Amino acid sequence: MFSKKICDSLASGSMIRAMFEQGNKLKAQFGADNVFDFALGNPDPEPDQEIIDDIRALAGEPGIHKYMSNAGFTDVREKIADHMSAESGRAFTAEDIVMVVGAAAGLSVTFHSLLDPGDEVITLAPYFMEYNSYVGNQGGVVRPVPTLRGSFRPDVPAIRAAITARTKAIILNSPNNPSGAVYPEEDLVALSEALDDAEAEFGHPVYVVSDEPYAKIIYDGVKVPSVARIFRNSITVNSFSKSLALPGERIGFVAVCPDMADKDLLDAALVYSNRTLGFVNAPAIFQKVVVNHLDRAVGLDAYRERRDMLYDILTGAGFECTKPQGAFYLFPKSPIPDDKEFAAIALRHRTIVVAGSGFSYPGYFRLSYCVSRDTIKGSEKAFREIMKEIGQ
Ligand SMILES: Cc1ncc(COP(=O)(O)O)c(C=O)c1O
């Protein structure tokens, strides 16, 4: 028969995907305009015209479609290294950069390079549940530590308590999916002290894997602190799925902090993993496209406007919600303790949300505002009726 592990995983399913399917059914029944689907974080703006122009021009460049070094084009990696150096104040070189097939592949390549079976990886809940697969595929075990209620800031004493001799890494994701929280510098500094103490106690580092696809999707002048600056033992995983609205093109990079001990070995391990996991190299045209747009954030003003609209609608209807400073999600508190029951009630009002349990953080729910203004406006009545049904 087929793989038992995969068949079991298929049976347990993804909550986001399940809501996506429910949404499609409702749309077929009631018409797309009468369904308020906040389930999927799929960037809806088109890439800027300059990006499209670059794609067209590069497609005709002689030699661009050939095999290359598994790490990616050297000139591209040099530019990304310069960018990482400017942001972090550390001296990245092209050797420290591996171009990858989006952040998802970047995380798989990273954990393939880091983990032995039984190694533990701390995640800060709420978190993107695909981490369970990227870590589990390598025989690693995820150890979720909840962030603080409401602010979704890291709970550093709880992280300290969760570190064991088997802890190999901790994943940071700021701006965060699903909470939209941007972790403040002071929390990261406190965390770096905790990781230094753990290294002294257990005799090996706890690596910080910083998953940063939303780093450019930020509002209200907030600054995202550079993880590579604060943590010597850091691996930055980035992608252009969100910032350039190119999720279907699968392009990103992994950057190893140049001041990490044995960093040459990790650089080589990442390139080896990229090849042997079957990615071989990142898409050629898109490597060359993205380096021209490293600071761009496509659709940021529209996201901000929709965040504000949806936030006002929700709080106006009586929901408790922290206004996020990044990403394109809101993560309000469920007005009833059972967040899955809440998602089911919302569905009866043709409103699709994802229960916080789907992010290892029960009692909350996620809304993605990668949707039209009309969908957001139309949802106001539904949210008020949901609250009425619940008796709030
Ligand atoms: C937190 C987080 N990490 C990683 C990814 C994967 O991104 P990519 O499209 O670059 O693989 C996503 C996608 O939604 C995400 O939300």
| CA 242 – CA 45 distance, rounded (Å) | 10
Q: What is the pLDDT of residue 10?
A: 84
Return the ligand 1 atom nearest residue 101 CA.
Answer: 11
The answer, yes or no, to whether any atom of ligand 1 lies below 6 A from the CB of 110, is no
Calculate how far, in angstroms, residue 389's C-alpha sits from the geometric centre of ligand 1. Answer: 35
The structure tokens listed for 320 are 């408790």
User: Does 128 sit in the ligand 1 pocket, CB within 6 Å?
Assistant: yes
Could you tell me the distance, in angstroms and rounded to a whole number, from the CA of residue 279 to the centre of ligand 1?
A: 17
Nearest CA to ligand 1 atom 7: 103
Find all residues with CB under 8 Å of 380, minimum gap 6, and list them. 313, 316, 317
- Local mean pLDDT, 10-residue blocks, the chain (392 residues): 88 75 88 91 93 97 97 98 98 98 98 98 97 97 97 98 98 98 98 98 98 97 97 98 97 98 97 98 98 96 97 98 97 98 96 96 97 95 97 82
Residue 268 pLDDT = 98
- Of 240, 241, 328, the residue with max ligand 1 atoms within 8 A of its CB, to mutate for a pocket test, comes to 241
**Unique residue bearing structure tokens 């689907």:** 37
- Find out whether the beta carbon of 247 lies less than 6 Å from any atom of ligand 1: yes
Angle at 210 between CA 205 and CA 213, to 5 degrees: 170
CA of 271 to the centre of ligand 1 (A): 20
Q: What's the CA gap between 19 and 337, in Å, rounded?
A: 20
Q: Does residue 239's CB lie within 6 angstroms of at least one atom of ligand 1? A: yes
125 phi and psi angles, rounded to 5 deg: -80, 140
pLDDT at 238: 98
pLDDT reported for residue 11 = 81
Q: What is the pLDDT of residue 253?
A: 98
- Nearest ligand 1 atom to the CA of 177 is 1
Under 8 Å between Cβ of 86 and 295: no
Q: How far is the CA of 115 from the centre of ligand 1 (A)?
A: 20
How many A from CA of 392 to the centre of ligand 1?
35
CA of 102 to the centre of ligand 1 (A): 8
Decide whether any atom of ligand 1 lies within 6 Å of the 102 Cβ.
Answer: yes
Pocket of ligand 1, candidates 14, 108, 209, 211: which has the most ligand atoms within 8 Å of its Cβ, to mutate? 211
Please work out whether the CB of residue 246 comes within 6 Å of at least one atom of ligand 1. no
- Catalogue all structural domains in the chain, each as residue range(s) with its CATH number: 4-47+299-390 (3.90.1150.10), 49-293 (3.40.640.10)
Cα torsion 185, 191, 192, 193 to 10°: value is 120
Q: Report which ligand 1 atom has the smallest distance to the Cα of 251.
A: 10
Q: Please tell me the predicted confidence (pLDDT) of residue 41.
A: 84
**231: which 2 tokens?**
């943590």
